[in-house]
Amino acid sequence: MSTNFAQFDYAAKTQELEGILAHLQAEDIQLDEALKLHEAGKVLIGEIEHYLKHAENEVKKQLAKGA
């Protein structure tokens, strides 16, 4: 997964994920739509986790330089 971390908008991605979750919690959602939303949510979660891991590694690097 290649992600341009300089252009990654964490807030927008989490807001998009929250929107998907809200749709999935709707009582009148159709199964096909729920499956598509579930897959989109999984992709977003993967992107967010990848970004957070990268951020964690950057913080560790900076801390190691300062020590």
> Has residue 36 got a pLDDT over 60?
yes
Number of domains in the chain: 1
Q: How confident is the model at residue 54 (pLDDT cuts 50, 70, 90)?
A: very high
Flag whether 11 is in a domain.
no
Domain with 49, as residue range(s), is 31-67
Straight-line distance from the first to the last Cα atom of the chain, in angstroms, rounded to the nearest whole number:
31
Q: What is the pLDDT of residue 67?
A: 62
Q: Nearest CA to 37 among 21, 57, 55, 13?
A: 21
* φ, ψ at 26 (rounded to 5°): -65, 140
Q: 21 in a domain, yes or no? A: no
pLDDT value of residue 6? 83
For residue 6, being part of any structural domain is answered with no
The mean per-residue pLDDT over the stretch 53-66 comes to: 93
Question: Does residue 63 fall inside a structural domain?
Answer: yes
pLDDT of residue 38: 97
Least confident of 2-16, 30-44, 50-64: 2-16
Q: Is 36 inside any structural domain?
A: yes
